[in-house]
Structure 1
Amino acid sequence: MTQDKHSRRRMLAMVGGALAMPSVLRAQATDPTVVGGTAEARRNISSFRTQRWEDHFDSLGVATLLADTQSRALHYWSADGSDYRLYPTSVPMSEELTKRGYTKVVRKRVGPDWTPTQNMLARDPSLKYMPPGPDNPLGTHALYLDWPAYLIHGTHDTRKIGRRSSSGCIGLYNEKIAELYELAPVGTQVRLI
């Protein structure tokens, strides 16, 4: 009887270990691999995927930003490629709010004010204009894109980062958008994928 208990315990331990194995494998590094003849990225627990600017742009221009809505990350490269940074982001809450393609930074602002768009008001009529400050959904800094009403901006609500939570914009922690604000000049090329 004692031997049966040990056998059952051993078997339960082995089954538990086998069930945990896929979690361990998913937590591997983010190095790209080739699977079935196509490039595929292994994901780490944050789901960030490595990106190469050369896969998206012909040159680095004055600076380059790549917003990956699937992995919820913003990649930054300086004009000479010597400075690369990766930021966690919030992304649009639905596919219909997600705009993809090429754009650029056309204006920058510290302490942006916020006015809800007509689509936002249709979803939530209680929304109203907000001046700069701690309740403003654009946070402390904003990079305006040449697409109307699309921005890369900060947020005071840190729970939004890493989630599908925006009405189309790319959101960063306030301290990270302040850093990016200093790095990315007007004219920075941007791609949302």
Structure 2
Amino acid sequence: MIYAPELRAQRAQPAVARDTRPVQATAPVYQPEFEAEVIEVAARQQDSAPGYGGGFIEFLFTGRGDPNMVQRPAGSTWGAQSSRSTANDPRWNRSGGYDSRASSGLDPRYERQFVDYSGPHGPGTVVVDSQNRFLFLVQSGGKAIRYGVGVGRPGFEWRGVKEITAKREWPDWRPPAEMLKRRPDLPEYMAGGPANPLGARAMYLGSSMYRIHGSNEPETIGQAVSSGCIRMRNEDVIDLYERVKVGTKVVVM
């Protein structure tokens, strides 16, 4: 017979009691990825684009505007991280988003509303009343949707008939070559997103540099402060963008 003391010691050990109760699984806690992504992108945009607002485009065009505007070296980019993935969410209201609560200080006259319309323009036409700071999207039956807008400041007003030649969601902005030649300190590129002064949507008018676009400064609606573009609240420009198409006639009066 083989003597194996270690085996006998193992056999002598008392049995360990086992818990035979059923295991209850714990449901995983859902953490939406969207909010974390939004906060991260918003932080990047704000850090990389100080001082953006309705006056930024005017500063680029004229050299006048925010005296505290930070200048970047020639060839630099601003906000190169695109925020389309976050900005597309309708809940967005950070840094000039389009939750109407973010623009609660707006004069009630400039809130979007249906109104009577007796002008000469047919349904589907966009009519900009520069003097009164309104944009009308003409409907059938003598009606129109009226939006409040900001228009060109003195010396930058214009009148005429254009058509929408392109539409962009969260548009990027690239200064034209002639502007970069005059102002080599300007960025060559600004990524679309909440920090971009073109806002949530842009509709390009003819072959000009003029646009109907959103704004991250809704308090400027109802004022003549732009360099000729027609600016709207982000929630309003999104609404208009969904209602018009390329080829839509735009009358600026």
The TM-score bracket by the shorter chain reads 0.5 to 0.7
Normalised by the length of structure 1, the TM-score is: 0.63
Residue 99 of structure 1: which of 148, 155, 158 is its match? Answer: 158
Q: How does 1:13-162 map to 2 (within 5 A)?
A: 46=109, 52-54=118-120, 57=121, 59-60=122-123, 63-78=124-139, 80-81=140-141, 84-95=144-155, 97-117=156-176, 127-128=186-187, 129-162=189-222
Q: Which has the higher Rg, Structure 1 or Structure 2?
A: 2
Give the root-mean-square deviation of aligned CA atoms.
3.0
Percentage of matched positions with identical amino acids: 37
Aligned residues: 142
Alpha carbons 1:112, 1:139 under 8 Å: kept: yes
Structure 1 runs (4+) greater than 4 angstroms displaced: 117-127
Alpha carbons 1:105, 1:145 under 8 Å: kept: yes
Distance 1:91 1:156 in 2: 15
Cα distance change of structure 1 residues 183 and 90 upon mapping to structure 2, 3 Å threshold: same
Distance 1:146 1:162 in 2: 24
Unaligned 5+ segments in structure 2 are 1-107
Between 169-178 and 112-121, the greater mean CA deviation after superposition = 112-121
Cα distance change of structure 1 residues 50 and 100 upon mapping to structure 2, 3 Å threshold: farther
Normalised by the length of structure 2, the TM-score is: 0.49
Cα distance change of structure 1 residues 175 and 116 upon mapping to structure 2, 3 Å threshold: same
Amino acid in the other structure paired with 1:182 = E
